[in-house]
Structure 1
Amino acid sequence: MTENPNPSVRSRQVSALLRTLREDLGLSGSEVAKSLGMSPSKISRIETGSRGLRVDDVAALLGHYKVPEQKRAQILDQVRKAEERGWWESQGLGLPQLWQALINFESRATRIQNFEALVVPGLLQTDEYTEAIISSINKTLSKVELTNLVASRRARQAVLSRRELQFLAVIDEGALRRPITESGVMRRQLRHLADTSDRPNITIRVVPLQAGQYAGLRGSFAVLEFEDEPSLVYTENQVTSMFLDEKDDVAAYRVALGNILNEALEPAESAQLMARVAEEHE
C-alpha cells in the first residue's frame, strides 16, 4: 500500500490509539509483528498513519490487544470511514467520542491557538466555573454525569504542563464579564486566568468590547499544530462537534485568527483588563 502523506483525522486517531493500546500492554512493535505474522515496519506504518488503514489489519491488532467488542466495533467503523475528510458528530450526554479524540490530539499538539467568544477556554477553566456552565447547558444531567464531565475537563488541562506545548488563548471581553454564575466563582476564575498567564508556555489575549465588529463574531474555534502531522481545526456548536483537516479550511481559520489578533490587546494589557474585571466581582 502506498504512503499516505496526509492521512485523515479519523485515520490519525485510530493510528494513535493502536500505538497507545500496544504500549499500555508493554509490547514492542516487533513482538506484535511476530505474533500476527506482520513485519515490524508494517506495524510502524500503521501506528504512524503513514499508510492507509485496512479493516482486517486493524481488526487483527484489536483482537490481539483484547479490546472489548463494543469498542472494537466503534474503532473499525472509524477505519471504514477513514478516507472521508473532516469528522463531526452530535454531542451526547456522556463524553462524546470526538471529545475523547480532542483529548488525544491535544496531548500530541505542539501549539494550540484557541479563540472563545462566549466563555473562558476549557483548558483554563476552574472546576466550579466548568460545573456552572455544563449544568446550565444541560439541566437533565445527574450529579454523577456532571462530576464525570467536570473531571474530564480537568484531565484535559494536564496538557498545559507539557513544556513543548505553546498555548494561545484569545478571549472576548464579553466572556469575562458575562455572569455565568455567582460573583465569587467568577472572581476566582478571573484570578486563575491571571495566575495562568504567568506561565511561560501560555499566552492570554483579550479582545476588548471597543473592538465592535470583528471576525470573532462568527464563533469559537481552536487550531492545533503538531510536529510531524498536518494541522487541525476543532469547533463545536449547540449540538455538533467537528474536526476540519482540509488545507483550505485550516488556512481560512488561520486567516480568521490573524484578523482576531489584530483586534486583541497585548498580553500585558490583557492581564490588566482581567484584573480590573476581577475587582468588579469583589
Structure 2
Amino acid sequence: MPAGGRPTVRSRRLGTALRQYRLATKLDQPQAAEVIASSQARVSRLETGHVTARVIEVRLLLDAYGVTDPEARAKLEELAKHSKEQGWWLEHAAHLRPDYLDHIALEDDATYIREWQPVLVPGLLQTPAYAEEITAGSPNYIAPDRVAQLLKVREARQSKIEEGGATYSAILWESVVARPLVRVEIHREQLAAILEIAQRKNVTVQVLPSSTGVLGAVTSAFSTFSFDSEPVVEAVALENLRGTPVLEGSEDLTAYANMYDLLRSSALAPDASARLIRSLLRSLKEDAS
C-alpha cells in the first residue's frame, strides 16, 4: 500500500494511466486481472492508486494494452519503482494537510511548473520574511512553532527551482507587485528577490497589467505540472479557502492549460515585466528616503 495508507500522487498517476490504456483497448478489469494472474479487486485498487503496481505487472499490462512507445512505458515503470519512496516532505506530514503534501509531491516530480497568482507572491518566489509575515497574518490562527515548520517546508520546496530541477514560469497580476500586503521594507526585499530569481535560465516571471481588465479576476491561483520533456499539463493544483485540491481529469487539464496560455499571452513579456518591477522598486526606495 502507498505510504500513509492513502493513494500517493505517484500511485494515482500510474493507476490513472493504466486505466486509460485499458479503456482504450476495451478490456474490462477481469480481463486485465487475468493478464497479471490476480483479482479484479487488485486491478481496481491499482487503477485508483490504493496499491502500487509492481514493475512486472506494469509491463504485462502495457503489453496487453498494446502500448509500445518506449518513453511511455519507461515513464510508468519509473512511477512503479518510486511510488512507495518516502519523499523529504513526509517528515513534515504531521504539520501539513494531505492536499498540500500532494502539491509538494507534484512539484518534486515535475519538469515544468507554471503558476498564476493574482493575490500573493508565489511560494516558490517568496523571501523568508515575506513568507513569515503572510503565514503569521493568516486569518486562521497558526501557532508560532507551526509557522516555523511551514517556512522550513517552503524553503525546501524552493530548492527544486534553485537547483534547476524544473523549468518554472510564474504570471503575477500587477497588484501582487504594486500593492504591498506586507510591510514596505519586506515588500521591497521581495521585489528585489523576484528580479534576481527571474535571471535564472530555468525561471520566467511575467506581470499581467491591471489594464487587461477582468482577466486577472476570472480565476483563482493555480499551478500546472508537467512530468516529461514537453510541457504538456498533466496535473493542476488549485488554491482556495479549503486547501489546494489537485485536478487530473482531461477536461480540467485542457481548461487550465488554455487559461494559462491566455494569461501568458496577455501578460507583459519577461523583460518588460522586469522593467515594471524595477520601476516599482525605485519608487518604493524614493518614498522611503
TM-score, normalization: structure 1? 0.68
- In structure 2, the partner of 1:257 is 260
Unaligned 5+ residue runs, structure 1?
1-8, 17-37, 66-70, 72-91
> Would you say the 8 A contact 1:15–1:49 is kept in 2?
no
> Would you say the 8 A contact 2:236–2:256 is kept in 1?
yes
Instruction: Give CA-to-partner distance per residue, 1:47-69, whole Å, 9 cap, x none.
Output: 9766xx9xxxx9xx89xx9xxxx
Alignment of 1:222-241 (within 5 A): 222-227=223-228, 231-241=234-244
Query: What secondary structure, in the 3-state scheme, does the structure 1 residue paired with 2:114 have?
Result: strand
Q: Post-superposition shift, 1:255?
A: 1.1
For 2:141 and 2:8, the matched residues in 1 are separated by: 34
For 2:135 and 2:60, the matched residues in 1 are separated by: 40
- In structure 2, the partner of 1:155 is 156
- In structure 2, the partner of 1:116 is 117
Query: What secondary structure, in the 3-state scheme, does the structure 2 residue paired with 1:144 have?
Result: helix
> Would you say the 8 A contact 1:93–1:141 is kept in 2?
no
Query: What secondary structure, in the 3-state scheme, does the structure 2 residue paired with 1:274 have?
Result: helix
Alignment of 1:1-282 (within 5 A): 10=7, 12-14=9-11, 41-42=56-57, 94-138=95-139, 140-214=141-215, 216-227=217-228, 231-282=234-285
Unaligned 5+ residue runs, structure 2?
1-5, 14-52, 62-73
Instruction: Give CA-to-partner distance per residue, 1:127-158, whole Å, 9 cap, x none.
Output: 11011111111462221111111111111101
Structure 1 runs of 4+ off > 2 angstroms? 9-16, 38-50, 161-164
> Would you say the 8 A contact 2:227–2:234 is kept in 1?
yes
> Would you say the 8 A contact 2:224–2:233 is kept in 1?
no
> Would you say the 8 A contact 1:15–1:48 is kept in 2?
no
Q: Post-superposition shift, 1:93?
A: 9.9
Q: Post-superposition shift, 1:278?
A: 1.4
For 2:233 and 2:215, the matched residues in 1 are separated by: 28
> Would you say the 8 A contact 2:188–2:284 is kept in 1?
yes
For 2:149 and 2:263, the matched residues in 1 are separated by: 33
Larger relative contact order (C-alpha < 8 A, sep ≥ 6)? 1
Shift in CA distance, 45/179, structure 1 to aligned 2, threshold 3 Å: farther
Q: Post-superposition shift, 1:236?
A: 1.6
Deviates more, 1:177-186 or 1:227-236: 227-236
Letter in 1 for 2:255: A
Percent identical among aligned pairs is 22
For 1:44 and 1:236, the matched residues in 2 are separated by: 36
> Would you say the 8 A contact 2:235–2:248 is kept in 1?
yes
For 1:161 and 1:197, the matched residues in 2 are separated by: 11
For 1:129 and 1:281, the matched residues in 2 are separated by: 16
> Would you say the 8 A contact 1:112–1:223 is kept in 2?
yes
Q: Post-superposition shift, 1:280?
A: 2.4
TM-score, normalization: structure 2? 0.67
The count of aligned residue pairs is 220
- In structure 1, the partner of 2:16 is none
Shift in CA distance, 254/127, structure 1 to aligned 2, threshold 3 Å: same
For 1:262 and 1:244, the matched residues in 2 are separated by: 23
For 1:171 and 1:105, the matched residues in 2 are separated by: 21
